[in-house]
Structure 1
Amino acid sequence: MELKFSKIVSKETRSASISLYGEIGDGDKQVNGHHWAHEFNYLDRNHDNVDVLVNGFGGNVVHGLSAVASIIAGTSQISTTNVGVAASMLGIIALMGDKPKMYDYAKLMLHSPYYEDENGDKTNKLSAKDKKALVVLRDILVRLLMKRGKTEEEVNKILKTDTWYSAEEALAEGLIDEIIVTGRKKELDSLEPMALVAKLNDEYKPKIERKMKTVIAALGLPEESNEQAVLEAVNKLKSEENAPDLTAVVDKLIVVAKAHGTVTDKNEASMRKLATTDFGLFVDVLNLEEVPATGGGTESTRISDVIAELNKSKGGGKSDEKTFGWFEKNDPEALAKMEISDPVKFKALEDADNAAY
């Protein structure tokens, strides 16, 4: 599965982390909660420890509920870490872990969940489905806070208005288990919540952009290509009869990476296995956007050059069947609908996917 929000921290300890930065929802600049939930489920199935990193304000209730439900159903050891601001919906998520933590400069805000209208104002004009979602989410939050030692009276007081906590206050109130010392408290502690979220998300953004540039280079697309162009290129590559043989692509990249020192005889088998399960992550791990030539040369080898060279020779290949992994990567919303409308098919696909590990 392509990991958009996650990274593998340690294969030895089977640990991974997944970020939830910004607002949650289905907007262009929001984190799609349904997609995030499916990626979390993938990590949860394949790792023993998952750390959820949170920084941002709330967002869409339904999308937030997808994230909350996936964490509740998780079977791995789940920790949640507030790395900046966890407010509203993200405040709930930040407390969902088996061991909630906060960075020493972080801020937490809790209130009773609600819907906003197009002007950003609280609204009570809701459908029956939306009303039910609010009831479910508030009930989860109430039970969560009472589990942390709060009385019902204390919970109602907390949720009556926007209640803010510093890391020290959250620890004293029993809402979190640990404060992580960062060395940046003096620098960041005085920032207003909105400014803190923006600063930290801006620091995180370049990592995403570098990874996107790697994928763009691998597909031979123009440097200014956006995410939609990348998705279309991937789907086109899968459907082309003359698409390059993946094994040949991997062989070529392994040779180049060995010359650069990224791949060694010791880790080659693991790298090849990674390439067959997640080619995008394989490319990212090798860091082969551009690899200097060996032997003192000045030219470099790009991944796009490798694929272009292999494209010159025709190869056959059948289209991938729509497995559980295919839906997770390409159409997670259809997978979510299938779980409700056709649970038998969903279970069969999920069992087949689990059997592969």
Structure 2
Amino acid sequence: MILASQNNDLYLFGTIWDGDGVYFISKLSQMEQQYSEITLKIHSYGGSVFDGNLIANAIEKSPAKIRIEILGVAASMAGILLLSCKNVAMADNAYIMLHAPSGGTRGTASDHEKAANLLRKIELNFKKRLARRLNTTESNVSKYLEGDNWIDAEEALAIGLINEIIPAKVETIIPMEELEDKSETEVYNLYSRLLLTPAAITSNENNFNNDTMKKMLITAFALSLTEQSSDTAFVEALKDKFKDLEGNLEKEKRSKADMENQLKAYEENRIEALLEGVNASEEQKAIYRKVGATSGLDALEAILKDVTKPVAPNLSELVQNGSSGTTLTGREQWTFEQWQKEDPRGLEKLSQEDPKKFDTLFNAKYKK
């Protein structure tokens, strides 16, 4: 997380990493000794839930009068931060994104269960904060924690998340209707491209000390520059950085598409393998293919367990006894005596399969 101050303005940009909660408290405590009113300007896509909770508690308990201004994006845990402050403003083209807390664990089943219980407790805490802020019940705010929920300035003001809409310092990056296909990181980076340009940096209230801002840019984008480098050098370095980022993004998109195609081909081959030998019409198989494509291979396998496959013939029995129904084939003119000589087993089988034919041969032999 990048923290920088200019007079009584405290800028919070980037990811909230582990340990940033203590870092923020230290910085805020220093400012509280100098100022009774502090403005926290946020552009962040969230991060550590626990450190974010420390930051939220510090804001809520601060002896100073805190005001939050959302400059670009306040997503995930950064969106929860604003619930700890009574005075929240938002740029007219900024966005808030809320969702349930998430995390990953490694270990035993017990470890995963403990992590899941902890996430549920954190989610309950989020619901309580939201319900208190929106002056409603916890059940009414559950929808804001189901999936990613992007909220623009007008909606945020209407439902009571913020108190004021302020003019934006940069042009609108992406329309509200296109946000569903974007991650919080992508939206953050899009706004960073303008919020961290020299023109935006030096405008009005966002007027940082030049060396401080250069230090922020070097840290945020890992630039191979120094604070003494010219503004032109910074602009060119940022252009190159964004060009590299865009190139990497396209590469990742192509790689993702290739992997998805390979996975699709694998699943289609597995479906065909599962359907091989299944006693079903082509119409039924088409339905099974759709089940496999939409519900997964496990679901298809479960369904096919109850579908009867044709039973393979008993080859050893056929070799030994001949196949059923073929005893007379090519032997229609044989006499009883010829049967006894050439195929006594077949004659025995004929007595079982075609008793009438057997009786005719027998009577002809013994003139009955």
TM-score range, shorter chain: 0.3 to 0.5
Larger Rg: 2
Q: Which has the higher helix share?
A: 2
TM-score normalized with structure 1 length: 0.48
More contact order relative to length (CA 8 Å, sep ≥ 6)? 1
TM-score normalized with structure 2 length: 0.47
